[in-house]
């Protein structure tokens, strides 16, 4: 930990200053997390009367449960598709903005505002647009012979939640790609141009490799976003359906815990999720440290 040379000597004051944060952390973060871990080793009977210690049984059941494995698979598909879509679109827009000098700021303003839209509201907007009976896009799709119905079709449902989640994340990725592009010294691209590389070739051989730290960082951030911040999108559009096809891990924890009241399983799922967040956070932090050095 970095240190200051000059420090104050007061004895009790630092504890007082830390107290609010630490108390909240202890009561609302550490205690519940501990409860989740403890609960994940227990099982309640159907009437909630008797609780027995079952060790890792909740976990072994979890990983034998097809619906949980399905949720895992759905989460991976959802996260990667959302990341690919939002990052791809954001990169194209960032490259375009990087070319326009004077109007860049206006375009940026017009592109970043979706960040401020709540995932749940984003879900409602897209759900409305794709509403099978009155939605504008299903109407157009019908014109080309495709019958859209995300309430019944698994592929349609996944497509819709991916689009909604990606829509909101484009702005974030766009901002960081623009910053990443601006950090590439113009002299490098000029040197490449003198070396005879055209715009497309320059992009693949100079811009993209130099952008790779930003890209990797955004990939991690977007995966974290899709895994934990898209509850509202799923809840507003599909509620995990049809037939579990959009039931991501976070949504399943909620469903099994609050709707299904299966406490042991929900707790075990929470613990697995914690493990995933920890891994992602560690990756992000190690990487950020390297980015600083770079």
Sites for another protein among residues 198-257 (CB under 8 A): 199, 202, 217, 221, 228-229, 231-232, 235-236, 250, 253-254, 257
- Please report, as residue ranges, which positions from 154 to 193 form the binding site for another protein (by CB under 8 A): 167, 170-172, 175-176, 179, 186, 189-190, 192-193
Piece of 6-14, 61-69, 79-87, 150-158 that binds another protein (CB under 8 A): 6-14
CB of 204 vs another protein, minimal distance in Å: 15
Piece of 51-59, 80-88, 143-151, 275-283 that binds another protein (CB under 8 A): 275-283
Among the listed residues 35, 55, 34, 54, the one whose alpha carbon sits nearest the alpha carbon of residue 44: 54
CB of 211 vs another protein, minimal distance in Å: 16
Q: What are phi and psi of 51, to 5 degrees?
A: -115, 130
- Please report, as residue ranges, which positions from 68 to 127 form the binding site for another protein (by CB under 8 A): 89, 92-93, 95-97, 99-101, 103, 107-122, 124-127
Query: CA quadruple 116, 120, 121, 126: dihedral positive or negative?
Result: positive
Peptide bond into 130 cis (omega under 30): no
20 binds another protein (CB under 8 A): yes
Judged by beta carbon, residue 130 or residue 158, the one nearer another protein is 130
Q: What six digits make up the tokens of 243?
A: 């037939």
Binds another protein (CB under 8 A): choice among 52, 69, 73, 128: 128
Cβ proximity of 248 and 230 under 8 Å = yes
14 binds another protein (CB under 8 A): yes
* End-to-end CA gap in the chain: 20
CB of 164 vs another protein, minimal distance in Å: 8
Among the listed residues 83, 73, 123, 85, the one whose alpha carbon sits nearest the alpha carbon of residue 247: 73
Q: For 52, what's the count of Cα atoms within 13 Å in the CB-facing half-sphere?
A: 7
Q: What six digits make up the tokens of 267?
A: 């707790």
Piece of 16-24, 50-58, 79-87, 154-162 that binds another protein (CB under 8 A): 16-24
Q: What six digits make up the tokens of 180?
A: 């990443």
């Amino acid at each position: 930990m970095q240190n200051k040379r000059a420090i104050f000597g007061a004895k009790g004051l630092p504890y007082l200053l830390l107290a609010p944060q630490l108390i909240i952390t202890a009561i609302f973060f550490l205690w519940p997390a501990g409860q989740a871990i403890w609960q994940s080793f227990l099982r309640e009977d159907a009437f909630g009367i008797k609780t027995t210690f079952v060790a890792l049984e909740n976990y072994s059941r979890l990983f034998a449960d097809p619906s949980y494995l399905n949720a895992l698979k759905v989460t991976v598909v959802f996260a990667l598709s959302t990341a690919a879509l939002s990052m791809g679109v954001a990169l194209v827009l960032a490259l375009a903005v990087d070319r326009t000098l004077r109007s860049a700021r206006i375009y940026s303003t017009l592109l970043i505002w979706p960040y401020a839209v709540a995932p749940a509201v984003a879900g409602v907007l897209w759900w409305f647009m794709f509403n099978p009976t009155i939605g504008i896009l299903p109407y157009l799709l019908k014109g080309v012979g495709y019958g859209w119905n995300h309430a019944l079709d698994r592929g349609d449902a996944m497509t819709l939640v991916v689009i909604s989640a990606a829509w909101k994340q484009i702005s974030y990725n766009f901002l960081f790609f623009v910053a990443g592009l601006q950090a590439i010294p113009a002299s490098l691209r000029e040197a490449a141009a003198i070396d005879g590389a055209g715009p497309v070739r320059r992009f693949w051989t100079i811009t993209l490799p130099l952008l790779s730290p930003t890209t990797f960082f955004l990939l991690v951030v977007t995966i974290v976003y899709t895994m934990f911040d898209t509850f509202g999108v799923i809840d507003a559009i599909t509620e995990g359906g049809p037939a579990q096809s959009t039931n991501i891990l976070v949504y399943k924890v909620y469903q099994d815990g609050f709707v299904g009241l299966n406490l042991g399983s929900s707790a075990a799922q929470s613990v697995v999720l914690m493990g995933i967040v920890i891994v992602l956070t560690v990756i992000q932090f190690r990487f950020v440290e390297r980015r600083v050095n770079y």
